[in-house]
Structure 1
Amino acid sequence: MQAFPIRDAEPEQAVPTGRMGYDLDAERLLLHTVQSAEAFDALLTTGTLTTDPTLAEAEFADAYDWIHRMMAARLPTSGEGALWFWARTRRRHLVDSCRRSRGQVLLTCRVPRERVLLSHFDEWHMVLNRAPGMPRLPGESEDDAFARWEEAQDELATRLRAAGLRDAPIRNWPPALRNAIETSWECILDRGNYGPFECWQGTVHALHTTEVVEAVRII
């Protein structure tokens, strides 16, 4: 049974003013997600929202396969695919997301922390772009960090060209090379690698109506 409020609002009013209140150390994490009207209806009807992994963009199949395996290894839950949430972002970014999502539904949720896999939002793009994960070292300048990353990226490209695999999916790479890049990505799951004000995303196997605090239909 639905036990949370549902309201309609323009994007600017969909997100409360003031501090967002994110706390990545809380027992129940504050999360936000924008879902389609159809997904919201499914949540209301069944009490649980999951996702169909076949709907993921084929271009990023290797990236999604990796995050799904990380979820399977690190979370107590199971399931196919992942639901994506903001675990910490700026209010203006969330409002901008709502502006691009009229007709959809913004869900504010509180989910037990142990059921959420956190990953660094910006560095997730290293995974999407099949690039080495490489956070900045303590005391390292931004320029030096970038130069170190470029060197690793060039080395990877050279090895792929030599193997005739420049455009091949990661799943077709030699095991040692695939393991090396996938292991490097695990840095984006460790909050200790980044500063205190970074944007973080969260993935879960399922969302239950009991974990929804509010739903806003974006008009």
Structure 2
Amino acid sequence: MIVYTVQKLSAYKLMREQGYLTGDIKYSMFPEAYQWMMEQMEKRLPNYKSEVPPIWVWERRVNRNEKALFKKGTKGVILKLDIPQESILWSPFEEWHTILNESPITFDEMEWEEFEKSDFPIQDVKDTWERLFDMDWLASRPKEWAGDFNDEWMQGVTPKITMDQIVKVERFIAK
């Protein structure tokens, strides 16, 4: 499957030296959410062991002129990759932010209000997070609550990327 990842030039150089690239939790802005995603990968991807931090990939082609890829002036690369579908765990970018904010993924306003009444018990909130991977359920929610389900913004996580998976390298300087 063709996917894309955005990496700093220094990470790409490391990849060329060692032949592969994995994620690194020490660079994560949200280490608990990152760890949770690793646990989900272990449950959902064959042969994945959660000691290997994932790399984020995109289904859509990333535009090097997009804002916020990196801090202005940072040298980066967009790697076009060919990775087996079974090595990627997909989730919608927008809903991922619900987890980053430690909020529940709710079906509608009524369910949200139930959480509100009970002061958002953390375990009950976390129990909703696995909904992140049920695209049919997410798409079935009322539009007035959840908006349009946009599968253009699908993000994936994969255990590692290797040099032989690279189809194309596009260098850029963040704007």
TM bracket, shorter-chain basis: 0.7 to 0.9
Q: Which of 153, 158, 164 matches 1:204?
A: 158
Shift of 1:113: 0.6
Alignment of 1:125 onto 2:97? yes
The alignment's TM-score, normalised by the length of structure 2, stands at: 0.79
Distance in 2, Cα, partners of 1:44 & 1:50: 12
Which runs of 4 or more aligned residues in structure 1 lie more than 6 Å from their structure 2 counterparts after TM superposition?
none
Shift of 1:155: 3.0
Shift of 1:196: 6.4
Describe the shift of the 1:62–1:97 C-alpha distance in structure 2 as closer, same or farther (beyond 3 A). same
Describe the shift of the 1:74–1:62 C-alpha distance in structure 2 as closer, same or farther (beyond 3 A). same
Q: Which of 145, 149, 155 matches 2:117?
A: 155
Q: CA RMSD in A?
A: 2.4
Shift of 1:48: 0.7
Q: Which residue of 1 aligns with 2:142?
A: none
- Say if 2:106 and 2:112, in contact at 8 Å, map to a contact too: no
Q: Which residue of 1 aligns with 2:127?
A: 183
Distance in 2, Cα, partners of 1:159 & 1:118: 26
- Structure showing greater Rg: 1
Alignment of 1:73 onto 2:73? no
Describe the shift of the 1:215–1:152 C-alpha distance in structure 2 as closer, same or farther (beyond 3 A). farther
Q: Percent identity?
A: 26
Distance in 1, Cα, partners of 2:116 & 2:68: 38
Partner of 1:213, secondary structure, is strand
Q: Specify the code of the residue in structure 1 equivalent to 2:11.
A: A
Q: How many residue pairs end up in the alignment? A: 159
The alignment's TM-score, normalised by the length of structure 1, stands at: 0.64
- Say if 1:131 and 1:153, in contact at 8 Å, map to a contact too: no
- Say if 1:110 and 1:213, in contact at 8 Å, map to a contact too: yes
1:40-65 alpha-carbon deviations (Å, 9 max, x no partner)? 011111111112212212xx232112
Shift of 1:100: 4.4
Distance in 2, Cα, partners of 1:95 & 1:200: 19
Mark the runs of 5 or more structure 2 residues left unpaired by the alignment. 140-148
Alignment of 1:214 onto 2:168? yes
1:144-192 alpha-carbon deviations (Å, 9 max, x no partner)? x3x2253144135x255xxxxxxxxxxxxxxxx52x3223111111221
- Say if 1:33 and 1:108, in contact at 8 Å, map to a contact too: yes
Describe the shift of the 1:97–1:48 C-alpha distance in structure 2 as closer, same or farther (beyond 3 A). farther
Mark the runs of 5 or more structure 1 residues left unpaired by the alignment. 1-27, 136-144, 161-176
- Say if 1:51 and 1:82, in contact at 8 Å, map to a contact too: yes
